[in-house]
A and B are shown apart, each in its own frame.
Chain A
Amino acid sequence: MLRHLHSIPGLIFGVVLAILAATGAILSVAPTLDRVQAPVAAGLTVAEVAARAEAANPGLGRLHRSPNGVISAGLKAKLGFKTVTIDPATGAAGAPANEGGFLDWVKEMHRSFFLDQSGHAATGISAGVMLLMAGSGLFLLVLSLGGWRSLSKPVRAPAARGWHARLARLAMAGLFVSALTGSYMSLATFGIIEDGTTVSAAIPDAVAAGSPLPVDQLSALQAIPLQDLRDLTFPAQGDPAGAFLIQTAAGEGYVDPVTGQMTNWTQYGPARQIWEFIYKLHTGQGLWLVGLVLGLSALMVPVLSVTGTMIWAARRRSLPRLRHNARAPVADLVILVGSEGGSTWGFASALSDELHKHGLNIHVAAMNDLAEYPQAGGILFMTATYGDGEPPASARRFLDKLAAASPMPFAILAFGDRNFPAYCGYADKVGSALEAAGWQHFMPFGRVDRQSAADFTAWVQTFGELLSLKLEPDYHASLPATTELELISRQDYGAQVQAPVAVLRFAVVKPDGWRGFLSRGTRFEAGDLLGILPPGSALPRLYSLASSRRDGFVEIAVRKMPGGVCSPWLNEIEPGTRIRAFIRPNKAFRPQAQGPVILIAAGTGVGPMIGFLRGARKGRETELYFGARDPVSDYLYAGELIAGLREGRLKRLITAFSRTRDRAYVQDRLRWDAAHLRRQIQRGGQILVCGSIAMARAVAEEVEDALGPIGISVARLRAEGRYLEDAY
């Protein structure tokens, strides 16, 4: 609902809002330009300046002072009128003002799209829509980050979604101010809000008899300092009953040209003062710095329009295309989906298609649409988690509906991101709620980390065994564009300890022409993932990168998994072989810039750690716990690690070998170093773990125990971004 409230008006008004914001951003510079150009005019009165201007400019009709201090005069020309800036010291005319320049054009575009009254209405409505966009966007951002307190946390979302959220967060405050003040001004223009501008001094019926005084002898104008002036209108030529109309910030009145006295002075009320303040806030007139900040914020709107449309298009593309969806009453098995961005639907659709091939009637629906399924043998819940354990969009009403449903056998396949503290948090909640309602598991809880096709396939195969079916779901994640890589060197380890590992170094093959130029920009950092498609497989395998772009090569460490598809192939290719691969950024897995960093790795998990050390500054407090089998066989990167110690890029190196007399694992070293770990964590240290899932679990338990005495949990460190895992 909230999402529709954001995306539908966004799509309809995207272009209009972008135009309003872009023109607003241009206008925001005007107060600063004015301020630079505005003459210094201390100690002058309106009477003095008016007299000088009148003497220097025949046909003077009005004198105006902008809130930034620029004085301009409206002159009667031979035909028509012109406006010029005035030097208050001499009264001489300077540059023509208001001569239909670029800024005037932009201003009229911003105010009414050159459509007069209906244009004013359109911009007013757009300001209201902008307010709605900012409000709904703020709530969406809070939801996705996991609460109001997390609002300043780093945004973990890919590409367009990430940039949309980051830029929106930066611009949010400014956009709120612009939209709110713009809406107010529009409502005031149409008289819906009382702004006090209809309060005006009564026009005097007549002026005193006699000959008019020179302007500089009008006592009422002598009493008004120039900086209080808003507007001074001279009596029309040939109008014997004409008086001067003087407007200041405080009020307005008429000055009798014969007596020089103020008549019908009318004080502006609070409504007018509020209007003045909001006008200044919106335009930056007299508040040039505010203007610049609002302008910068407005500049983000066109970008937000584009990225927002991209997000919407991506979500639409990923919406389910269910080919063989059975009706609920006749379904053999029901798949209920909890999805925010739509990717979980893709998995559900793949599984449904595969089961359909085996003759089963599958009904796929949103978790929100939970119903009665008289024929079904069970329900499979496939759900993602939104933010900090919140339900995704298609499951938001599920728990409310659950009470009324009759219990059935069920299974849960949860989708999440291991780097989040509440990994699959919502799926856990669903599991507990179902159990509490008396539902029975027909399969253990399954998890898919970061849309891993491998995790998904493994779970589906286990599920197939339960049904005595051989299931091979055809899941195609939408793959990013691939780049061609050429193997330039390989180093082999671990053959003697029955754990062959190859360190493979690739060069990016530069295509000809513009593609080559573009591919130079392929950015990657150590810790990002390299997706490789092995021959004859549609599922990419992901390997942690051991190098960054500045190293000039792409490096991974690959352990040969018996019976695998990709790793045996990679362990056999020779230099010169070309493969296709893509980079999947993993920005969450990066060492912090300040404070101690504790790297913990086992086996090929040392890859990204080596990458981090290659780019590290000397003297950084980085230490590495590294577990392998045997120093003579699978001590990966031994030479580089020693060099790192010597050059000061690595402060401590603690190794553990399991096939030596020691029979030690990294977790044993951590246990012995518990006091040191506590000290480093208390000093703001960060822990990065890379290795197998089993190793990562053992390390987490060990760290939990080590930190127990100081009352800090791994969960808390994860929430603070100080405990990062890359486990496979």
Chain B
Amino acid sequence: MYRTTTALALSLAALVPIAAEASPVKISVTIAQYSGPNAFLAMYLTDAAGNYKSTVWVAGGRTRYWQHLRTWFSATGGQGVDGITGASVGSGRTLTVTTDISDAMMQAGYVLHVDAAAENVAESPNDIVVPITKDGAGKPISGDGFVATLKYDL
């Protein structure tokens, strides 16, 4: 059970810069136009080899649907994560979150993954996969699934 209030408190805490070498990264995800209920999203980071490192954000607080964000859910050991969750995202909407990614992680070639799913529409693990680099910042990347565009700003 993840109560909204605790979720909010913890997510706010996550937005506070925690270390000097970490730079805040603003990630904007725009969902494609589709017919159906709001999409659940999981944004998470892996290293260049694809090993799960951390969860950036989960949109959609109802944990019983999390198994449909299959790659992410599996990577967290079938547990999901507590704290960094918010509302699911409707067709055509943009979700913006801010997270901290250290320069070291960027140099190591960390990759941002988005798993997406919407009830009775589709499950789309790795809906979009984007390496995070200093050069890529500010350039929108197009997807062909739930995520129409993804952009990150340093």
List 14 additional A-B contacts (Cβ < 8 Å) besides A81-B145, A116-B38, A236-B71: A61-B124, A74-B122, A74-B123, A76-B122, A80-B145, A98-B120, A99-B35, A189-B62, A191-B63, A191-B64, A200-B67, A236-B125, A236-B126, A239-B126
Q: CB-CB < 8 A to B148: which residues of A? A: 79
Q: Check A61–B36 contact: CB distance below 8 A.
A: no
What separation, in Å, do the CA atoms of A236 and B33 have in the docked complex? 21
How many residues from A make CB contacts under 8 Å with B? 30
Q: CB-CB < 8 A to B146: which residues of A? A: 80-81
Which residues between 70 and 91 of chain A lie within 8 Å of chain B, taking CB atoms?
Answer: 72, 74, 76, 78-83
User: Could you list 21 examples of A-B contacts with CB < 8 Å?
Assistant: A61-B124, A74-B121, A74-B123, A76-B122, A76-B145, A80-B32, A80-B145, A81-B121, A83-B36, A98-B35, A98-B36, A104-B36, A116-B87, A117-B4, A117-B62, A191-B63, A203-B67, A203-B73, A203-B74, A233-B123, A239-B126
**Set B37, B124, B145: member contacting A108, Cβ < 8 A:** B37
Asked whether A374 is an interface residue with its Cβ less than 8 Å from the other chain, the reply is no
Q: CB-CB < 8 A to B144: which residues of A? A: 78-80
Distance between A635 CB and nearest chain B CB, rounded to angstroms: 79
Task: Select from chain A the residue with minimum beta-carbon distance to B120.
Answer: A98
Contacts A117-B4, A189-B62 known; A80 to B34 CB distance under 8 Å? yes
Asked whether B1 is an interface residue with its Cβ less than 8 Å from the other chain, the reply is yes
Residue among B33, B123, B146 with most chain A CB within 10 A: B123
Distance between B21 CB and nearest chain A CB, rounded to angstroms: 34
Interface string of B100-124 (1 = CB under 8 A from A): 0000000000000000001011111
Q: CB-CB < 8 A to A98: which residues of B? A: 35-36, 120-121
Asked whether B61 is an interface residue with its Cβ less than 8 Å from the other chain, the reply is yes
Asked whether A197 is an interface residue with its Cβ less than 8 Å from the other chain, the reply is yes
Q: Check A79–B35 contact: CB distance below 8 A.
A: no
Q: CB-CB < 8 A to A239: which residues of B? A: 71, 125-126
Asked whether B28 is an interface residue with its Cβ less than 8 Å from the other chain, the reply is no
Contacts A80-B146, A81-B122, A81-B124 known; A104 to B1 CB distance under 8 Å? no
Q: Check B36–A100 contact: CB distance below 8 A.
A: yes
Asked whether A211 is an interface residue with its Cβ less than 8 Å from the other chain, the reply is no
Distance between B1 CB and nearest chain A CB, rounded to angstroms: 4
What separation, in Å, do the CA atoms of A233 and B126 have in the docked complex? 15
What separation, in Å, do the CA atoms of A99 and B91 have in the docked complex? 12
Q: Check B126–A197 contact: CB distance below 8 A.
A: no
Task: Select from chain A the residue with minimum beta-carbon distance to B75.
Answer: A203
Which residues between 41 and 75 of chain B lie within 8 Å of chain A, taking CB atoms?
Answer: 61-64, 67, 70-71, 73-74
What separation, in Å, do the CA atoms of A279 and B62 have in the docked complex? 18
What separation, in Å, do the CA atoms of A324 and B71 have in the docked complex? 78
What separation, in Å, do the CA atoms of A64 and B121 have in the docked complex? 10
8 closest pairs, A vs B, by CB? Answer: A100-B35, A203-B74, A81-B122, A200-B67, A74-B122, A191-B1, A80-B32, A197-B64
Q: CB-CB < 8 A to A78: which residues of B? A: 144
Which residues between 123 and 137 of chain B lie within 8 Å of chain A, taking CB atoms?
Answer: 123-126
Asked whether A560 is an interface residue with its Cβ less than 8 Å from the other chain, the reply is no
Interface string of A35-79 (1 = CB under 8 A from B): 000000000000000000000000001101000000010101011
What separation, in Å, do the CA atoms of A74 and B123 have in the docked complex? 9
Q: Check A117–B61 contact: CB distance below 8 A.
A: yes
Distance between B25 CB and nearest chain A CB, rounded to angstroms: 26
Asked whether B98 is an interface residue with its Cβ less than 8 Å from the other chain, the reply is no
Residue among A64, A74, A81, A117 with most chain B CB within 10 A: A81
Contacts A116-B87, A116-B88, A236-B126 known; A79 to B32 CB distance under 8 Å? yes
What separation, in Å, do the CA atoms of A79 and B122 have in the docked complex? 13
Distance between B39 CB and nearest chain A CB, rounded to angstroms: 10
Asked whether B78 is an interface residue with its Cβ less than 8 Å from the other chain, the reply is yes
Distance between A385 CB and nearest chain B CB, rounded to angstroms: 51
What separation, in Å, do the CA atoms of A81 and B122 have in the docked complex? 7
Q: CB-CB < 8 A to A104: which residues of B? A: 35-36
Task: Select from chain B the residue with minimum beta-carbon distance to A96.
Answer: B35
What separation, in Å, do the CA atoms of A108 and B38 have in the docked complex? 10
What separation, in Å, do the CA atoms of A203 and B67 have in the docked complex? 9
**Set B34, B78, B120: member contacting A203, Cβ < 8 A:** B78
Q: Check A198–B63 contact: CB distance below 8 A.
A: yes
Asked whether A632 is an interface residue with its Cβ less than 8 Å from the other chain, the reply is no
Task: Select from chain A the residue with minimum beta-carbon distance to B119.
Answer: A98
What separation, in Å, do the CA atoms of A78 and B63 have in the docked complex? 30
Asked whether A469 is an interface residue with its Cβ less than 8 Å from the other chain, the reply is no
Distance between A279 CB and nearest chain B CB, rounded to angstroms: 13
Q: Check A62–B37 contact: CB distance below 8 A.
A: no
Q: Check B62–A83 contact: CB distance below 8 A.
A: no
Distance between B104 CB and nearest chain A CB, rounded to angstroms: 28
What separation, in Å, do the CA atoms of A108 and B91 have in the docked complex? 14
Asked whether A675 is an interface residue with its Cβ less than 8 Å from the other chain, the reply is no
Q: CB-CB < 8 A to A100: which residues of B? A: 35-36
Interface string of A121-149 (1 = CB under 8 A from B): 00000000000000000000000000000
Q: Check B78–A202 contact: CB distance below 8 A.
A: yes
Residue among B118, B121, B122 with most chain A CB within 10 A: B122
Task: Select from chain A the residue with minimum beta-carbon distance to B68.
Answer: A233
Q: Check B125–A81 contact: CB distance below 8 A.
A: no
Q: CB-CB < 8 A to A79: which residues of B? A: 32, 144, 148
Q: Check A61–B120 contact: CB distance below 8 A.
A: no
What separation, in Å, do the CA atoms of A203 and B144 have in the docked complex? 25
What separation, in Å, do the CA atoms of A74 and B88 have in the docked complex? 20
What separation, in Å, do the CA atoms of A98 and B35 have in the docked complex? 7
Distance between B51 CB and nearest chain A CB, rounded to angstroms: 13
**Set A83, A117, A233: member contacting B120, Cβ < 8 A:** A83
Interface string of B71-103 (1 = CB under 8 A from A): 101100010000000011000000000000000
Q: Check B124–A236 contact: CB distance below 8 A.
A: yes
Distance between B137 CB and nearest chain A CB, rounded to angstroms: 25
What separation, in Å, do the CA atoms of A76 and B126 have in the docked complex? 14
**Set A83, A197, A198, A203: member contacting B70, Cβ < 8 A:** A203
**Set B34, B62, B70: member contacting A81, Cβ < 8 A:** B34
Which residues between 189 and 214 of chain A lie within 8 Å of chain B, taking CB atoms?
Answer: 189, 191, 197-198, 200, 202-203
Distance between A61 CB and nearest chain B CB, rounded to angstroms: 5
What separation, in Å, do the CA atoms of A203 and B74 have in the docked complex? 6
Q: CB-CB < 8 A to A117: which residues of B? A: 4, 61-62, 87
Q: CB-CB < 8 A to A200: which residues of B? A: 67, 78
What separation, in Å, do the CA atoms of A78 and B32 have in the docked complex? 12
Q: CB-CB < 8 A to B145: which residues of A? A: 76, 80-81
Q: CB-CB < 8 A to B73: which residues of A? A: 203
Task: Select from chain A the residue with minimum beta-carbon distance to B78.
Answer: A202
Q: CB-CB < 8 A to B121: which residues of A? A: 74, 81, 83, 98
Task: Select from chain A the residue with minimum beta-carbon distance to B125.
Answer: A236
Q: CB-CB < 8 A to B124: which residues of A? A: 61, 76, 81, 236
Distance between A560 CB and nearest chain B CB, rounded to angstroms: 76
Q: CB-CB < 8 A to A236: which residues of B? A: 70-71, 123-126
Interface string of A224-248 (1 = CB under 8 A from B): 0000000001001001000001000
Task: Select from chain B the residue with minimum beta-carbon distance to A191.
Answer: B1
**Set B4, B33, B63: member contacting A80, Cβ < 8 A:** B33
Q: Check A62–B32 contact: CB distance below 8 A.
A: no
Task: Select from chain A the residue with minimum beta-carbon distance to B2.
Answer: A191
Q: CB-CB < 8 A to B67: which residues of A? A: 200, 203
Distance between A512 CB and nearest chain B CB, rounded to angstroms: 54
**Set A61, A80, A83, A202: member contacting B123, Cβ < 8 A:** A61
What separation, in Å, do the CA atoms of A80 and B118 have in the docked complex? 11
Task: Select from chain B the residue with minimum beta-carbon distance to A203.
Answer: B74
Q: CB-CB < 8 A to B35: which residues of A? A: 98-100, 104
Distance between B131 CB and nearest chain A CB, rounded to angstroms: 17
Distance between A246 CB and nearest chain B CB, rounded to angstroms: 13
